[in-house]
Structure 1
Amino acid sequence: MQIRPRTRLLLLSLAITVGCKTSPTTEPNAKDLGGEHGEDGGATTTGDGTEIDPDALASGVDAEIEQAPVEAREREKPAAPQTRDAALVAVAHGNPDGAVKFLLEELGSKTSDHEAMFALARGQRLIGQLDAAEATVTKVHKSAKDAAVKASALRRLAQLRMARGDIKGAEQHIRDARKLAPNDILLKGELVRLMFQTGRAQEAEARDLIDELYASYSDGTAQSADQLLGTAYAGLAERAFKSASRVLQEAERAAPPSNGTELGDEIAMELTALFLEKYKPNEAGQTLAQVLERDPWNPEALANMGWVHLDQFALAAASRTADEALQVNPENADAHAVLAWVALIEGHRDVARAHIVDHVINVNPSHAGGQIVLAALAIFDRDKPAYAKARDAALAFNPRDGRFYSKLSDLLGYLHLYPEADVVLVEGAKRLPDDPYIQGALGLSKLRLGDELAGREALEKAWKKDKYNNRTLNVRQLYSERIEPHYAEQVTGDLTLRLPAESQDMLAPGLNAAIVQARKALDSGYGIKISPLRIEAYADPDEFSVRTVGVPSLGAIGVCFGPVITSLGPYTGTHNFNQVIWHEIAHSYAIQLSEGRVPRWFTEGLSEWESEVADPSWARESAELLFEARRHDKLRKLSELELAFLRAESPLMMEVAYATAAWAMRYLGQTYGRPKIVALLQGYATGKSTDELFKQILGKDLTTVEAEFTKWFDSELDRKLSGWRPSQDQKDDPRVKSLMKAMEVAAAGDLDQAKELLEKLIAANGDGFHTRTTLAAVLEQKGDKKGAIQQYEKAATFALESLDPWVGIAKIAREQKDIPLELDQLEKIIAIDAMSFDAPLRMLVLATATGDARMSAALDRVNAIAPLYPAALAASALRLHRAKGDKKLIRAMLDEVMVTALRPDATMDVLVMAAIATDEIGDPRVKDLAPRALHSEELPDAMRKRLKKHAP
């Protein structure tokens, strides 16, 4: 997977705009090739005219890193309640342990205060004292005279039996309760629920009860919260999820979580389970948030919130909320199951197993989340008997529960075990061919593996049985409403490429060439061939996301499933598609060689390294980010890099993870070579750990390699970022004060004093990037352009990845109309930064207009980012014409360009490129374009002369 690249923080980025914003689909007005520039004011500015802020001592990254969340909250000991009523409040407001302690002393051997006894049992359940809770409720049941109270006690006993996985015992309690209250709607619903959970919803008794429950809702009998909950169970048993959801929400309104009733929380948990079942984690989270707003330490809500976060692949948040739940109830089975899922995904298989064995199945042997972890561990270890044991335990009470298979496939997907997930689902489909959960998951699995026919057939089967599964709905709509009418496939040998139909002829040649180049290089490097290969490039982020995971808003631009790669295509200028594709194709080799068992840090870092080997400009310019992360002690060690990915709680920290992994694999690749990396991948396929494989293949243990990498990393980071670097925590440093003083006097207009202060700072151990760029800005403001250029060049030696110095010089060159100098700077910029669109577009226009040989390199970069941008299409048509290419395609490209170029608000870069292309190609529309293109003040004389012949 590749996440969206971090937006570069450039002080000087405006200096290279070419009449368009980052997204080339927008076309703001511009007066010349580079957009509109106003006159400088009296304030001191950087190279782009931005006022210097004396408080801006660092990049801004440092504050973001400092604020990145890491740990779970620490629960403070609540004040002990002093009265019965306070204890009843405490149990529902974050202090169940305090309530339990008080009520045990207050009630003693008395059992007549049933309200307090039930509150005590609730508190005991919340803190994990299930035996004590059962004893408390049993006392109520035995001592109560009122049938309704006795029935209520039995219902609570049933819930406690359910928590242990004793569904038979729970059902007996409900049946006993119904004898006491045969017309109780909630008890009818509870029995239906239990029969449904054991696969008996179609039995005559269940059918009769369901009919009675429906009737009670239809005739208005069911009005209270408990009655509405009972009728909702009928809808759930019937898979009438829309009506069940509606009734549950009615029940929630009757007993809102804010009231703190036990029933209200029960309703909230049922709603949460329903939303999660239908892949609607946002709605589930909103429901739980209402409980947690009242009681921020409700362990059941926190544990369930862990499942919500897992559904969103927010592993750090899932782990944090589960840890918080355990501060209240150290034996909460759901919280331990969440932590086991996280540990397994993070590669800590022993930790995952311990959570389940020690804290989950000893409480509830059929706990689905726990047994799924054991099943996944067995599959990872290729232990068929262990898998069968876990499966049978999960399905012990309901052999027809297809969610075991669908949820297991989700977990295996997190582990990159896509073929194994498919095998599990095929097994499930044979056992339960009509189960919508299995068929829905099987459909996604087949699509991920490239079998679209089987995938769509399975989705249709799922849809017929369950029209409320969000993933099934989304993917079906995607194919019928977007892919079928708006996308087309091109098959070239063993490569299938899906692209938007209307532009595939213009896109396919370039994308095919990039893919072929990557495959050829990686085939040779890894000694295997990924064949066939399917790549799909979508135009809309939600289309890509739904195709990839079934729901929108996936924060990535590419995902690899082995032989199938889905991505966000190069349509809006947001990323370099060639780099993304190389990155994702590299994943295919890692997945195949390791049989999906490669750690995420290794495969992500490897793909980053392979990308930068292919093109050094594709390397992440991450030195500044990592420098600040190191300074704030937010870097993970080599042995902890998996956590850097899976525990990242912000885009910035995810970028830190990618960057650190990229540097780690750069080190391993440069130090040990690709053959050793191939051997490591093959070793992962055997299930061995990184430490075992380092000893076996590198001849060193993980600790030794980690120490060597850290030494190399620090050295390289200090090489890339040298000199004095001010930061916000150094405000008492005399050098910081000198720099701030220089900025202040410069802002006041005293440029001579500012220059003197900065020169003294350089001489007083204050030489570095910030000092030099500030001095360059001051000199530029004074009119000393040559001196400014020298300072920018010196600044670049302190920050090897920074674009700012070259952008500053490019601005000066532009003001002086020195096109060769500007082209030199643009060439340096694109050699560092492969993702930004503006610099290569500016370079393309200037190189084309002057006949500079760098036109082709600039066009290659522009086409990798936004090949359909009108100026890019015009240049592509021109290059194709010079190569005596397909005239029909050239005409189609120019026709597409004219849609924009002939508009009154066309930007100058589009006008100029279109005019140059139509002139050389001989397209008569040059007569419409040339007169307007001549308004560009920066048009070179030779090109101006050439275009003038087309002007009136």
Structure 2
Amino acid sequence: MTSGSLPGRAFLAAAVWLAVALAPASAQDLAAAHSAAAAGEYDAAIRQLRGADDAPHVRLLVRTLAEVGRYDEAIAAARQYEGRHPGSVAVANVLGEVLAATGDATAAARAFERAAMGGADDSLDARYNLARGHLDAGRTDRAREELEAFIDTYNRAERLSSEELAAVAGAVRLLAVWDWRLSRDALRAYDEAIAADPGNLEARVLVGDLFLEKYQGTEAIESYEAVLERNPRHPGALLGLARQRRFAGSAEAMGFADRALETNSRSVDALVLRAMLWVELEDPDRAQADVQRALTVNPRALNALTLAAGVAFLTGDTEGFGRSRQAVFAVNPRYAAFYTTLAELSVRRRLYREAVDFAEQAVALDSLSWSGHQLLGINRLRIGSMDDGRASLERAFEGNPYDLWAMNTLDLLDTLETYRVERSPRFVYAIDGKEADLLAPYVSTVAEEAYDRMAARYGYRPEPPVRVEIFPDHQDFSVRTVGLAGLGALGVSFGPVVAMDSPSARGAGEFHWAATLWHEIAHTFHLGLSAHRVPRWFTEGLAVFEERR
């Protein structure tokens, strides 16, 4: 052995090691890694994928790392591959997805363009991501043009992969804002994507999201649970169930959000949802903490910036509200969801006039904000603007006939048209015609006495007229209150409007209707006195005290 032979052997050993480490992995290896990731065994999948140098493995590695929130590692893995393969576009799309998730929209768009223009295997997905980027930036016309091209792609293609079908479905789903019928086509394309690859869990999650978006909670649950049967840790499915539980008013929403964050502690959407739940529990400090964690991941996240503004608004932080609002519209000057989110938060705090103001700004900014029209309509009704409320709800239902709140409330308004309306200087009474002769004298006597006593006691008079609606069908009362059937309460006060069950809506002896009416009128006084900023627990206690004095 000569002294000169050792470097040569060391170089050979290193070359052999490198060749083995970066050798193309087999289809069997890819299937094993994919199975591990699909089962939620993320660490095992990542270990199997490390060191692979073929595009399918690296794409799966990048997506697996991103799914558990290891975004920096995901970006590094994609860029290392591109460094070893100059000019390759094989992982550009997945790189763009992670860059977009972390707020680098410019670099993400460049990556998507390279994949789309360079003929990458996932170029159709890249085109979809580009169109979404235009929407997120407020470039609506350009986004629509690019999304509509997916319909031609679908119609002309002899065969599309599962991932390509999911991209088509996503594009058509976004187009449904212009034509609600396209939601059906989106569902069909998602179903075809799942049929082409039953293991495409992302497509199943997106089906659940579509069902939830269209108020089909049962079907959404089935889609999410089908994913969780295969992968109990899937963050998207857990987040979907958290959203569904929130939609249903269930306390389980927080638990599912926590579980999603156990898998991906840096999920912006899960952090924002949990922050929203904290807001609804009137815990702004915890809400703000989660919002800030989300913004650390993606400083441009519109939903996080919007909720930051919402927390600032509810806590009276005018300066913070202004900063967050400016940041939102710097990203997307057409982001109507900023105002619809603020309207929803206002409703949660019983700030119904503010909800109307925010919803008006939403539809002024984007006339296709169907949720904005719905929020505007329902909250106009809550402050007694009946004709304007109906007009807004009709507009909302025209654009999105899947909206249960709009549909149910429009049906209710048809019912209210049959009620007898009686007026006094301080009240408007709407009572079912079959009961009006009997109930009207008693209702007016109780209401006027309650008004007189509390006006004297508080030195305050609500602006007249206060509208009182009495429902013989409890489900009608429930729809009036929350837009859906199933509410367990007896009465509600929105301030200018009081709604409650008629004695005939319940069994004999089940409740004292006069005490309920007195209780709700007390709320009208307390909400008016405090400009609707009294804590719910306090006004409930005070109203119970008033009804028993």
Task: Give TM class, smaller chain.
Answer: 0.7 to 0.9
Residue 187 (structure 2) aligns with: 248
* 1:174–1:191 contact (8 Å) kept in structure 2: yes
Can you list the C-alpha shifts for 1:256-306, whole angstroms capped at 9, x where unaligned?
799443xx31x2343344444445544433332222232222223222322
**347, 350, 368: which one aligns with 2:282:** 347
2:265 counterpart of 1:320: no
Two-structure CA RMSD over aligned residues (Å): 3.0
What do residues 40-65 of structure 1 show as CA deviations (whole Å, max 9, x unaligned)?
xxxxxxxxxxxxxxxxxxxxxxxxxx
Equivalent residue for 1:231?
A: 168
Cα distance change of structure 1 residues 558 and 249 upon mapping to structure 2, 3 Å threshold: farther
Do structure 1's residue 122 and structure 2's residue 63 form an aligned pair?
Answer: yes
Q: Does 1:450 align with 2:374?
A: no
CA distance in 1, matches of 2:331, 2:217: 27
SS in 2 for 1:454: helix
Q: 1:50-85 deviations in whole A, cap 9, x for unaligned?
A: xxxxxxxxxxxxxxxxxxxxxxxxxxxxxxxxx875
TM-score, with length taken from structure 1 = 0.50
C-alpha distance in 1 between matches for 2:493 and 2:229: 39
Q: 1:609, CA displacement in angstroms? A: 3.0
Paired residue type of 1:134: I
Counterpart residue number, 1:551:
484
- 2:495 alignment partner in structure 1: 562
1:491 corresponds, among 423, 426, 429, to 423
Q: Alpha-carbon deviation of 1:416?
A: 1.9
The Cα shift of 1:135 comes to: 1.8
Q: Secondary structure at the match of 1:217?
A: helix
**TM-score normalised by L of structure 2:** 0.84
Distance 1:528 1:279, change over 3 A: farther
Whether 1:306 and 2:242 are equivalent positions in the alignment is yes
Q: Which amino acid aligns with 2:329?
A: L
CA distance in 2: counterparts of 1:434 and 1:344, whole angstroms: 27
Residue of structure 2 equivalent to 1:103: 48
Q: 1:319 to 1:510 in 2, by over 3 A?
A: same
Report how far residue 86 of structure 1 moved. 5.0
Q: 2:10 maps to which residue?
A: none
Matches for 1:920-935 after TM superposition, within 5 Å = none
Q: 1:414 offset after TM fit, Å?
A: 0.9
- The Cα shift of 1:374 comes to 1.7
Write the letter of the residue equivalent to 1:164. Answer: T
1:436 to 370, 373, 382: 370
Distance change (3 Å), C-alpha of 1:503 and 1:260:
same
Report Cα offsets for 1:398-417 as digits up to 9, x if no partner: 32222221122112211222
Look up the equivalent residue of 1:525 and give its one-letter code: R
Matched, 1:212 2:149: yes
Gaps of 5+ in 1: 1-82, 615-952
Q: Tell me, yes or no, if the aligned pair for 1:224 and 1:251 is still in contact at 8 Å.
A: no
Q: Secondary structure at the match of 2:141?
A: coil
Equivalent-residue separation in structure 2 for 1:418 and 1:582 (angstroms): 21
The aligned amino acid for 1:329 is: N
CA contact (8 A) 2:96 2:112 kept: yes
CA contact (8 A) 1:463 1:473 kept: yes
1:156-555 paired onto structure 2 within 5 Å: 156-181=94-119, 184-203=123-142, 206-207=144-145, 209-219=146-156, 221=158, 223-232=160-169, 233-239=171-177, 240-255=179-194, 259-261=198-200, 264-265=201-202, 267-314=203-250, 316-357=251-292, 359-433=293-367, 435-480=369-414, 482-484=415-417, 486-532=418-464, 533-555=466-488
Alpha-carbon distance in structure 1 between the residues aligned to 2:45 and 2:286:
33
Structure 2 SS opposite 1:530: coil
**C-alpha separation between the residues in 1 aligned to 2:221 and 2:274?**
18
Checking the alignment, whether the CA contact within 8 Å between 1:538 and 1:567 is kept in structure 2 is: yes
After TM superposition, the structure 1 = structure 2 runs for residues 847-926 of structure 1, keeping only pairs within 5 Å, are none
Report what 2:6 is aligned to. Answer: none
AA at the equivalent of 1:569 = S
Partners of 2:491 and 2:459 lie apart in 1 by 24
CA contact (8 A) 1:416 1:596 kept: yes
- Give the distance between the partners of 1:607 and 1:430, measured in 2 at CA: 38
Change (3 A) 1:497 1:282: farther
Residues 126, 216 of structure 1: CA spacing in aligned structure 2 closer, same or farther, 3 A cutoff?
closer
Query: CA contact under 8 A between 2:401 and 2:407: conserved in structure 1?
Result: yes
Conserved in 2, the CA contact under 8 Å of 1:344 and 1:352? yes
Distance, in Å, in 2 between the alignment partners of 1:257 and 1:477 is: 41
Aligned residue for 1:450, secondary structure, equals coil
Residue matched to 2:527? 591
How far does the alpha carbon of each residue in 1:233-261 deviate from its partner, in whole angstroms, 9 at most, with x for none? Answer: 14523523432344334423532799443
**Contact kept in structure 1, 2:278 and 2:284, CA below 8 Å:** yes
Tell me: CA distance 1:238–1:85, structure 2 relative to 1, closer, same or farther (3 Å).
closer
How many Å separate the matches in 2 of 1:369 and 1:211?
26
Q: Percent identity?
A: 28
Change over 3 Å in CA distance of 1:352–1:242 after alignment to 2? same
C-alpha separation in 2, matches of 1:394 and 1:284 = 30
Map of 2:542 onto structure 1: 606
Question: SS of the counterpart of 1:489?
Answer: strand
Q: Call closer, same or farther: CA 1:371–1:540 in 2, change over 3 Å.
A: farther
Bigger-Rg structure (1/2): 1
Deviations 1:770-800 (A, max 9, x none): xxxxxxxxxxxxxxxxxxxxxxxxxxxxxxx
- Cα distance 1:557–1:219, how it changes in 2: closer, same or farther (>3 A)? farther
Shift in CA distance, 427/226, structure 1 to aligned 2, threshold 3 Å: same
- What are the within-5 Å matches in structure 2 for residues 32-181 of structure 1? 86-100=32-46, 102-103=47-48, 107-108=50-51, 110-112=52-54, 114-143=55-84, 150-151=89-90, 153-181=91-119
Contact 2:378 2:389 in 1 (8 A): yes
Q: Secondary structure at the match of 1:556?
A: coil
* CA shift for structure 1 position 142: 4.9
Aligned residues: 514
Shift of 1:356: 0.9
Q: 1:164 to 1:272 in 2, by over 3 A?
A: farther
- Pick which of 345-354 and 230-239 moved more: 230-239
Per the alignment, residue 948 of structure 1 pairs with none
Gaps of 5+ in 2: 1-28
Aligned to 2:504: 571
**CA shift in 2, pair 1:593/1:295, >3 Å:** farther
Q: Deviations over 1:852-895 (max 9, x none)?
A: xxxxxxxxxxxxxxxxxxxxxxxxxxxxxxxxxxxxxxxxxxxx
